[in-house]
Amino acid sequence: MKAYDEKHVKNIALIGAAKSGKTTLSETMLFEAGIIKRRGTIEEGNTVSDYHDIEKERGNSVYATLLHTEWRDYKINIIDTPGLDDFVGEVISAIRVCDTAVMALNAQYGVEVGTELLWDYVDQYHKPTIIAINQLDSDKANFQQTLDEAKSFFGSAVTLMQYPLNAGSGFNAIIDLLKMVMYRFSADGGKPEKLPIPDTEKENAEKLHNELVEKAAENDETLMELYFEKGSLDEDEMRKGLKIGMMKHDVFPVFCLSAKHNMGSGRMMGFIDNIAPSAMEMSPEKTADKQEVICSSEGPARLFIFKTLMEPHLGRLSFFKVLSGEIMPGSELTNEKENNTERISQLFIADGQNRNSINRLKAGDTGCTLKLKNTLSNETLNGKGAKGIIQPIEYPRPKVRTAIIAINKSDDEKLGSVLQEIHTEDPTLQIEYNRELKQLILHGQGDLHLLVTKWRLEHIYHLEVEFVKAKIPYRETIQQEALSNYRHKKQSGGAGQFAEVWMKIEPYYEGMPPSKEFPVRDSQEINLAWGGKLVFNNCIVGGAIDARFLPSILKGVMEKLQEGPLTGSYVRDVRVSIYDGKMHPVDSNDISFKIAGMMAFREAFYQASPKLLEPVYEMEVTAPDEMMGDIMSELQSHRNIIIGMDGKHGKQIIKTKIPQAELDNLISSLRNVSQGKAHITAEFSEYSPVSGEVQKKLADEYQKLQNGN
């Protein structure tokens, strides 16, 4: 297979909402280029892109899949991405390494919720963007409404390249404003007839063509001068202006498609060949220390690993982009992060599950290799003469969580190692063993994300697992001061144990004035690992307790802070003052004062009006206007406080504060009532007191558990 140079490789990512037709479009592009002889369909489960069992079972993409076409002396690498928020990590990786994003819009639904999330990443990486309005053959297709929504959402950069002559069930013709011809397709699609623009469309087409010429000219001073001089631009001059505009994010060309019936994809592929920028024309990649990496085959070899996949019977498959130089089997590269050397044993070009061997890949190209030993996604491999680590991809925080257990307890260790393996493939899935909650917890982007993980565990790794409700990391504190004392005395032959501790505890807050009741000789302010503070004051006078026993008292208090008296939750924001006590010249020791300190704190805590705190999150819900009634009804059925509302691009944005105890279920409910069209983010905000009723219920449950009931 031919190795293309950096001038003749184009990397695109197909992105868009679920059911916008990305996988069908990728299938059509491969068919149009002759890579495949027959087009598969989602319904039949035989597309090149969606080849995993879970994708066939669900009927939508779960993984980003690397494909390629060869079209008129250019190689187009395609990454077909999932359309659901749950798998956004796959989309971000694709956007990161593509040179052009192709945003597929469903002509039936326009700019859907979730597009904004994708656009944030496209904009962050400043990727040139093509807008592909697909499914123009659908009965409910509305091209003009979709175009208007795109202009409202993406701004004035939306640039019409084509418009359909007859969108709807009879769609078969496109007016092309760059070439000023009409493309008419047969019922089977494929190569269209090139026909003159009908008389009825000439005036409108000329008007839109002139707007396109102006758009191309305004991106370059030389072109603008030519435009003023000639009153127009030829096709090559327009191509130049459009490319400059795409790279500046001033031009987002709009194309018309019916991917299902193979209409319009060839024209868009020709545009990608001729106008969409290659990697060498894009702004150079940068290392973490801001050094530029020039995309040139003449430079030192450098690879960026953007995706890792564990393939049954094959092992670890690593997908990469060649940022500079060239790579071939036998190349030895260094992973600076891990300080080790990797040898590239095999090189492949991937088309879904099919991998074709190649003997060389040059700068700007993408490929994959098998069995890298110690290199994972988001890492850099450098050849001789290359230094530095490429800036890593930043993934979004998880939105939902669940605890997970192995049904067979002998699988506990295997479950942990398998989950770590899955995490290497999918960095947006986070695994945590929470010592506080004593649970293994999965954090993901949504319920579907977690369920797919469960499916993989059961069907690929043959582990029977169960999801159980993740516990809430409550906190305990106090609302008033209290005094207590405790004497620990134990005599059982030989040396005994004796310690007596008198303490005062108070609610702590920032800027709290020093205690006046008991002068402080020494004070420690401890930032607790679970949040909040403990202030520990030594107020002993007259040597009632030797200073060497104070650390043991502190150790006893700290131990009780890790299992609060009320519910066993961590305690925070307390000031403890040790102001008196007694010791014995023979029987006093560290363990005695540790026990006395712990018990004195426990007794004081109950007298200090203990209060249970719960984690509260700030949540933002974005949904279409017409769904606001259902969204608000669902919110009202949970404990939350609305803190703001705003409208944008035909969507409503609701900001609310909600306890974590409600959050996990609420996110699922909101996605259900919005038919998956609500985009939800949540970030921890603060700890806030629970109601007296909830506190009593949780405290009673804890006491029953302690008593063995």
Partnered with residue 380 across adjacent β-strands are 304
The token duo for 11 is 């990397």
- The alpha carbon of residue 665 and the mean position of all alpha carbons in its chain are separated, in whole angstroms, by 20
For the domain that residue 636 is a member of, what is the CATH number? Answer: 3.30.70.240
Instruction: Tell me if 69 sits within 8 A of 270, measured CB to CB.
Output: no
Whether residues 300 and 354 share a domain: the answer is yes
* Strand-by-strand arrangement of the 302-311 sheet: 340-343, 332-335, 380-382, 302-311, 315-324, 366-370, 348-351, 354-357
Q: What pLDDT does 628 receive?
A: 84
| Predicted local confidence at residue 706, as pLDDT | 83
| Burial group, residue 547, by CB count within 10 angstroms (0-12, 13-18, 19+) | exposed
Residues 272 and 414 in one domain: no
Q: Which of 552, 584, 608 is the last residue of a domain?
A: 608
- The per-residue pLDDT for 651 is 79
Sheet holding 252-256, edge to edge: 65-71, 74-80, 9-16, 100-106, 129-134, 252-256, 158-160
Residue 316: C-alpha distances to residues 33, 113, 358, 374 (Å)? 30, 34, 19, 10
Flag whether 240 is in a domain: no
Backbone region of residue 390 per phi and psi (left: phi > 0; alpha: psi in -120 to 50; beta: other values): beta
- Does residue 135 sit in the same domain as residue 264? yes
Residue 437: CATH number of its domain: 3.30.70.870
Rounded distance, CA 153 to CA 224, Å? Answer: 27
**CATH code, domain carrying 301:** 2.40.30.10
Residues 341 and 275 in one domain: no
**Considering the domain boundaries, does residue 700 fall inside one?**
no
Residues recorded for the chain: 709
Last residue of a domain, one of 608, 626, 657: 608
Q: How many helices (H) and strands (E) does the chain have?
A: 16, 38
Is 706 a domain residue? Answer: no
Q: From CA 438, how far away is CA 393, in angstroms rounded?
A: 31
Domain with 424, as residue range(s), is: 400-468
Q: How far apart are CA 77 and CA 12, in angstroms?
A: 6
Percentage above 90 pLDDT, the chain: 80
d(Cα 392, Cα 366) in Å, to the nearest integer? Answer: 17
Tokens of 553: 């008292």
Helix (H, G, I), strand (E, B) or coil at 305: strand
Q: Rounded CA gap, 682 and 397, in Å?
A: 9
Whether 265 maps to a domain, the answer reads yes
Residues 49 and 129 in one domain: yes
Q: Closest by alpha carbon to 155, among 191, 175, 176, 129?
A: 129
Q: For residue 16, tell me if it sits in a domain.
A: yes
Q: Which residue ranges in the chain fall short of pLDDT 50?
A: none
What is the per-residue pLDDT for 439?
Answer: 95
Residue 229 domain flag: no
Last residue of one domain, picked from the residues 574, 608, 642: 608
pLDDT in tens, 383-419: 999 999 999 999 998 989 999 999 999 999 999 999 9
Q: What is the pLDDT of residue 339?
A: 87
Q: Please tell me whether residues 563 and 548 are part of one structural domain.
A: yes
Number of domains in the chain: 5
CATH code (residue 134): 3.40.50.300
The CATH number assigned to the domain holding 557 equals 3.30.230.10
pLDDT score at 310: 87
For residues 333 and 406, state if they share a domain: no
Q: Do the domain assignments include residue 1?
A: no
Task: Identify whether residues 461 and 481 lie together within a single domain.
Answer: no
Question: In this structure, what token pair is assigned to residue 676?
Answer: 């998956």
Distances in Å between the Cα of 469 and the Cα atoms of 407, 570, 662, 699 are 15, 20, 12, 19
Residues 453, 483, single domain; the answer is: no
Asked if residue 218 is part of any domain, the answer here is no
| CB contact at 8 A, 246 and 276 | yes
Whether residues 118 and 188 share a domain: the answer is yes
| Best CA proximity match to 1, nearest among 296, 350, 352, 371 | 350
Q: Based on the domain organization, do 265 and 124 belong to the same domain?
A: yes
Q: Residue 707 in 3-state DSSP? A: coil
Domain check: are 646 and 604 in the same one? no
* Nearest residue to 15 (alpha-carbon basis) of 109, 108, 127: 127
Tokens of 51: 């080849």
* Residue 620, CA distances (Å) to 176, 457, 481, 503, 684 in order: 41, 31, 38, 45, 12
Q: How many CA atoms does the CB half-sphere of 280 hold within 13 Å?
A: 16
Q: Which three-class secondary structure state does DSSP give residue 643?
A: strand
